[in-house]
């Protein structure tokens, strides 16, 4: 035999159709393998599902609450409490004056009489009020800032300006608690992010460990496939598909859990919102969360499988 250097090259490329077909077969056969161990598959996917549902669901919840805060912040109003001595007519002229300003969208007067009625109705102190000789409540002008005066600072400046009116005792911006709500949701959002990173790590480990066990179980098979000329890619592929399937089914379980939780929470939330005279209700799952869970799950599964396969497959060599 002639010793030719670099003689023949190996034919390594498959044609694309065969390649695709092989991937499709491989993904289905890993699915079949998973379905043959329904209990262990269900447990792994359930754990993945819960790990995905927690950050996914919390993200959705926080999103809902901060959206609520945002809608209130946009409609921040200023309450102008008039001095005790200001009469009804004078109060109305103050209202007209204010309503004419460019930076005011709307000004509504709650005169002393109306204020008393409202207080009697809502506070539960109606009888105590009746004992008083005279109405202790001041008239109030409720001001909604115009488009030029949107945003926290502009509204605060407007309030300071209105405070200059002689008839106005106090100009109060009803924004502080919205700010607090914003700060709280901001904190929770960060906490959810940290939780999401931790749980993503957990998913990686769960899937990685499951795949590691699977590799150990199929030790002999891997050895034989290597003996008959299976490439590392060929051997790796079914495990990677298994990782993807775990992630995908985990994502479905997570979505199911989130929807159930939303359904269970919706009643109490509406009751709570009703107490604050709000028609707020939880939105169904938004597309960002949906996509995040549906893509994140399989991606994490794939990464977990890849980690396990990379570590353990090289250790198996035929003898």
Partner 1 sequence: MIRFDHVAKRYPTGHEGLSGVDLYLQAGEMAFLTGHSGAGKSTLLKLIGLLERATRGQVWVNERNLNKLRARDIPYHRREVGMIFQDHRLLHDRTVFDNIALPLVVAGMRHAEVRRRVRAAMDKVGLLKKEKVFPITLSGGEQQRVGIARALVSKPPVLLADEPTGNLDPDLSREIMELFLQFNQVGVTLLIATHDVDLVNRLGKRIINLRDGRVATDSGVPG
CB of 25 to partner 1, least distance (A): 9
Q: Which is nearer to partner 1, 38 or 233 (CB)?
A: 233
CB of 215 to partner 1, least distance (A): 15
CB of 12 to partner 1, least distance (A): 6
* Cα–Cα distance, 243 to 30 (Å, whole number): 9
CB of 20 to partner 1, least distance (A): 11
CB of 64 to partner 1, least distance (A): 50
**Using CA atoms in the order 241, 243, 248, 254, what is the torsion angle rounded to 10 degrees?**
170
Q: Which is nearer to partner 1, 29 or 283 (CB)?
A: 29
Three-state secondary-structure class, residue 145: strand
Q: Which is nearer to partner 1, 124 or 229 (CB)?
A: 229
* Cα–Cα distance, 33 to 41 (Å, whole number): 10
Strand ranges in 192-300 using DSSP code E only, listed in sequence order? none
CB of 240 to partner 1, least distance (A): 17
Q: Which is nearer to partner 1, 26 or 193 (CB)?
A: 26
Query: In the chain, what is the greatest distance between 2 CA atoms, to the nearest angstrom?
Result: 123
The tokens describing 298, both together, are 């399989």
Q: Which is nearer to partner 1, 143 or 235 (CB)?
A: 235
Residues that bind partner 1 (CB under 8 A): 1-5, 7-8, 10-12, 14, 18-19, 22, 220-221, 223-232, 234, 317-319
Type and span of the H or E element at 297: helix 287-312
CB of 273 to partner 1, least distance (A): 58
169-177: long-range pairs with CB below 8 Å, 24+:
169/81, 169/82, 169/83, 169/84, 169/138, 170/80, 170/81, 171/78, 171/79, 171/80, 171/81, 172/78, 172/79, 172/80, 172/81, 173/76, 173/78, 174/76, 174/77, 174/78, 174/79, 175/73, 175/76
* Cα–Cα distance, 120 to 127 (Å, whole number): 8
CB of 37 to partner 1, least distance (A): 13
Q: Which is nearer to partner 1, 88 or 232 (CB)?
A: 232
Strand ranges in the chain using DSSP code E only, listed in sequence order? 78-82, 104-110, 140-145, 168-173
CB of 52 to partner 1, least distance (A): 32
* Cα–Cα separations (whole angstroms), residue 20 to 14, 102, 158, 206: 10, 67, 66, 29
Q: Which is nearer to partner 1, 164 or 319 (CB)?
A: 319
Q: Which is nearer to partner 1, 72 or 306 (CB)?
A: 306
Q: Which is nearer to partner 1, 122 or 228 (CB)?
A: 228
| Per-residue exposure over 252-288, b if at least 16 CB sit within 10 Å of its own CB, e if not | ebbbebbeebbeebeeebeeeeeeeeeebebeebeee
The secondary structure of residue 133, as a DSSP letter, is S
């Amino acid at each position: 035999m002639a010793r030719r250097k670099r003689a023949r090259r190996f034919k390594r490329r498959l044609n694309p159709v065969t390649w695709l077909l092989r991937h499709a077969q491989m993904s289905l056969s890993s699915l079949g393998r998973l379905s043959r161990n329904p209990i262990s598959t269900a447990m792994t996917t359930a754990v993945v599902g819960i790990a995905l549902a927690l950050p996914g669901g919390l993200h959705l919840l926080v999103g809902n609450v901060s959206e609520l805060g945002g809608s209130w912040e946009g409609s921040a109003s200023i309450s102008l409490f008039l001095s005790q001595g200001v009469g009804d007519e004078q109060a109305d002229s103050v209202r007209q004056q204010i309503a004419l300003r460019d930076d005011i969208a709307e000004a509504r007067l709650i005169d002393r009489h109306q204020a008393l009625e409202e207080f009697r109705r809502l506070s539960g102190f109606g009888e105590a009020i009746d004992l008083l000789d005279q109405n202790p409540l001041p008239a109030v002008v409720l001001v909604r800032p115009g488009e030029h005066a949107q945003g926290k600072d502009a509204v605060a400046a407007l309030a300071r300006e209105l405070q200059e009116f002689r008839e106005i005792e106090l100009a109060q911006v009803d924004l502080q608690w919205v700010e607090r709500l914003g700060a709280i949701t901001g904190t929770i959002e960060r906490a959810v992010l940290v939780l999401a990173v931790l749980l993503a790590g957990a998913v990686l480990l769960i899937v990685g460990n499951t795949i590691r066990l699977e590799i150990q179980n199929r030790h002999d098979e891997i050895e034989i496939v290597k003996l008959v000329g299976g490439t590392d890619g060929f051997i790796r592929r079914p495990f990677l598909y298994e990782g993807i399937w775990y992630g995908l089914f985990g994502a479905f379980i997570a979505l199911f859990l989130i929807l159930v939780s939303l359904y269970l929470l919706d009643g109490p939330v509406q009751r709570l919102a009703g107490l604050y005279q709000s028609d707020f209700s939880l939105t169904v799952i938004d597309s960002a969360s949906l996509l995040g869970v549906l893509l994140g799950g399989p991606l994490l599964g794939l990464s977990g499988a890849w980690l396990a396969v990379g570590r353990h497959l090289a250790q198996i060599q035929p003898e």
